[in-house]
Structure 1
Amino acid sequence: MNPSASSFPRRWFVAGDLNGFFGLVVDNLSILGFIAMALVGMFQFPAEVVFGRMFPGTALGVLVGNLMYTLMARRLAAQTGRDDVTAMPLGLDAPTSIGMALLVLGPAFVAFKAQGLDPHAAAIATWQLGMASLVIMGVLKTVLSFFGEAVTRALPRAALLGSIAGIAIVLMGFLPLLETLRSPVVGFVTLGLLLYVLIAKGRLPVRAPGVLVAFAFGTLLYYGLGLTGLGAPGFKVPQWTPPQVVLPWPSLGFIEGLPTAMTYLPLLLPFGLLMVVGGINVSESARAAGDDYRTRDILLVEAFATLVAGLCGGVAQTTPYIGQPAYKHMGARSGYTLLTGLFIGIGGMLGVISGLVQWLPLAVLAPIIVYVAIDITTQAFQATPRAHAGAMVLGFLPSVAYLLAIKAPGWIAPEQLAAMTTTLDGHGLPELAVIFTLGNGFIITAMLWIATVVAMIDGQLRRGAVLMLIAAGLTLFGLIHSVDPRGGIYLPWMLEGLPKIISWQFAGAYVALALMLGLLSLQRRPTGQ
């Protein structure tokens, strides 16, 4: 043991922890706010279910994870005899939390209502689906914690980051941008302020976290313009849902949601995989900054916190944040994660978080998500070899198809929609059917497309052929390019009619490309290559 390890005073809080606390809390509040915005504002979800059932369990996951990371930091400080160890920051993952709201929970709620359930019953069924989704991702992350590095070797970084960047720029960027511009003055000013402080690194006349200033200024502007009649049409003071004390005890409610959750596996599995890869990356980042945490421990805490949240009613998974070195530069140590965990966790149980989130307008919350989308996409390009950039751009296109699939039912009458997906016009498969098919399983599709093009770029044509054969197999079972309107999986011999034709055509396309790549790999390489 280091002789000084037990002798130096290990304080629970230092001045820098306050800066770290504000930064980490605002990140978590913005994500919780967007979940509420998407479900209540966009999908007309009953607010009492979001605030009284979903938020307490979700907040508990943040509490558990941050407490464990705080203890890990203090243990590392004791082992090394250092007083500058910074805890790993943990919070709700922006891409997958927003993805859960926009791609899983919201559409599922609409589908449950279409089946004849009243809004409250549909909301409860959706909540149980969210719990089941978190349990599935928690189990997956627990298993992959022991094989995470092997996963990162199997898929190139461009495939992992590019697939999430597609979600970011197409879905997380565009959909919240629409909400931003529905109140143009407030939304655009808030977005501009965020871009000034976060991308341009501009200085503010007040010494306070830039995101906090943007939230406060945007909220004051929204209510100021609205109350004087100068705001966007439709301004109204939010309907107040009284805070309630909810203790998120473990329950078996997730079991009811498992059957529906299985139809969302093509989305849930990549979500869990990306968090494992992200955990490995942040562990390396912290190690480079001087704090040598064991990668497996970081991943297991992340998985455990997600499982706890799912079992206790949560609907958004936790993850270690990439900015550990940034918090270290702020002077934060281990107190900021303790404060954040207690504030979010206890505040979520007492209804304080729900009360704060209710008064944050959509036009103020949406711009931070637009910024997050820009940041994720930028990081994806910065963290991958320049030669692989074209491959990543290709991986954005399935996300575009999913965006159109989300919006099409609201733009086109049901009878016309059915006709447009089943009528052959002599020019190949119906265009709208292709859009739906391409959008289903879009994250895994993007990973495979990007990985294949990367293999071409790197001269590994046989590897690319194998990836295309894997894509063909996944297509036949609906894990990608599902012809089920809900995007579910199935056995290929159960399909009939046009759905069977579409499935086999897509699978055949992958097999044909695999054969072509296999034949090209037989060429002799020019001398010197």
Structure 2
Amino acid sequence: MTSKLFSNLGLRPELNAFFTFFFDIVVTLFVMLGLLSFVGFPVTFIIEKVTPALALGVLLGNLVYSRMAISLSKQTGEQKTAIPLGIDITSVVAIILLIVGPSLQFFNAEFEDPEKALLYSWYVGMGTSLWLGIIKFALAFCNDAIRRFIPMAGMLGSIAGVAFVWLGANPVLSAFQMPLIGLLALIICIVSLMAHVRLPVGAPGALVALLICLPLYYVFESFGLIPEHTASSNSADMLGLHLPYLQMGGLEHLFGYTLGYLAIIAPLAILVSVIATNIV
């Protein structure tokens, strides 16, 4: 009876998609945290100020999109799927390396207070996100024109580089850093998601890979079999409840220092809009 639970509820494809998308967001989040640390942001600053609002935004955005899909399904009588809202890896890499990192260096030279420099650089990041939203909102009314006048091959080209590097090569290379764990997780995902082999009780493949490989990782780490540069820090200082709160600094810098980066922000917004057009 248990083995038919997911099938009877019609949830197995949705659960597979949910866990796959969830872990994709988690991986992108870790990439973002690593890049912010690389450009000079302390981990405590990232956990306390960046992550809470990001997590809340992703949650609320997906709830809104899901509600829109449900309403449209009722209106049309056809089943509709909501486009997932998450962290765009292209924007993450470009904003951190081309805008937030250089602005932190500028403010470090401008101010003698490192905390103030971090705060102002964060404000620039928020202002950049607001400009991205404004430009993408304006471009949303041009989607039909974009589809008519730009060949599909040309639009798909904007996705190809990101797909090959971040969705293909990067995860595979990461799996080979710890092959006994990484390749096992990769095999489970390939067997369940691509070969469509039914796992016990119809469980989602991404979830099974996590439940098997995560405990295995900590067992290997306890015996010193994990390379030091990939081992977890196990720091209790980062644990705690960090709630998002309103900050007006992003609005203040919307027409301030952030304007100097519009030459980067505008093409990035166009790229993301083209990607969204292809998805839709």
Quick one: which amino acid aligns to residue 107 of structure 1? Answer: G
Q: Which SS does the other structure have where 1:127 is aligned?
A: helix
Structure 1 or 2, whichever has the larger Rg, is 1
Is residue 78 from structure 1 mapped to residue 77 from structure 2 by the alignment? no
Residues 56 and 246 of structure 1 are in contact (CA less than 8 Å); yes or no, is this contact kept in structure 2?
yes
Q: Which among 39, 47, 56 is matched to residue 60 of structure 1?
A: 56
Cα distance in 1, alignment partners of residues 262 and 184 from structure 2 = 36
Q: Which among 45, 48, 52 is matched to residue 49 of structure 1?
A: 45
Cα deviation, 1:103-153, whole Å, max 9, x if unaligned, reads 346633763476376654443233212211111111011111222222334
* Shift in CA distance, 217/282, structure 1 to aligned 2, threshold 3 Å: same
1:28 paired residue number: 25
Deviation at 1:34, TM superposition (A): 2.8
2:84 paired residue number: 90
What is the 5 A alignment of 1:134-213?
A: 134-170=129-165, 183-185=177-179, 188-189=182-183, 192-193=186-187, 196-197=190-191, 200-201=194-195, 203=197, 205-206=199-200, 207-213=202-208
Q: How many residues align?
A: 266
Deviation at 1:190, TM superposition (A): 5.5
Structure 1: unaligned runs, 5 residues or longer: 1-13, 284-529
What is the 5 A alignment of 1:44-443?
A: 45-80=41-76, 82=77, 85-100=79-94, 103-104=97-98, 107-108=101-102, 111-112=105-106, 115=109, 120-170=115-165, 183-185=177-179, 188-189=182-183, 192-193=186-187, 196-197=190-191, 200-201=194-195, 203=197, 205-206=199-200, 207-234=202-229, 235-240=231-236, 241-249=238-246, 251-256=248-253, 259-283=256-280
Cα deviation, 1:58-115, whole Å, max 9, x if unaligned, reads 23332343333233233323323x3x62341322144334424653466337634763
Identity fraction in percent: 27
Q: CA RMSD in A?
A: 3.6
Structure 2: unaligned runs, 5 residues or longer: 1-8
Residues 186 and 221 of structure 1 are in contact (CA less than 8 Å); yes or no, is this contact kept in structure 2?
no
Cα distance in 2, alignment partners of residues 155 and 61 from structure 1 = 32
* Shift in CA distance, 170/72, structure 1 to aligned 2, threshold 3 Å: closer
Residues 125 and 257 of structure 1 are in contact (CA less than 8 Å); yes or no, is this contact kept in structure 2?
no
Quick one: which amino acid aligns to residue 166 of structure 1? Answer: G
Residues 130 and 257 of structure 1 are in contact (CA less than 8 Å); yes or no, is this contact kept in structure 2?
no
Cα distance in 1, alignment partners of residues 31 and 251 from structure 2 = 23
The structure with the largest helix share of the pair is: 2
Residues 38 and 101 of structure 1 are in contact (CA less than 8 Å); yes or no, is this contact kept in structure 2?
no
If the length of structure 2 is used for normalisation, what is the TM-score? Answer: 0.74
2:5 paired residue number: none
If the length of structure 1 is used for normalisation, what is the TM-score? Answer: 0.43
Cα deviation, 1:170-192, whole Å, max 9, x if unaligned, reads 567666666655x4336742663
Cα distance in 2, alignment partners of residues 264 and 176 from structure 1 = 30
Cα distance in 1, alignment partners of residues 34 and 196 from structure 2 = 28
Deviation at 1:229, TM superposition (A): 1.3
2:3 paired residue number: none
Cα deviation, 1:434-469, whole Å, max 9, x if unaligned, reads xxxxxxxxxxxxxxxxxxxxxxxxxxxxxxxxxxxx
Deviates more, 1:140-149 or 1:263-272: 263-272
Structure scoring higher RCO (CA < 8 A, sep ≥ 6) equals 2
Deviates more, 1:222-231 or 1:133-142: 222-231
Cα distance in 2, alignment partners of residues 58 and 159 from structure 1 = 32
Deviates more, 1:187-196 or 1:147-156: 187-196
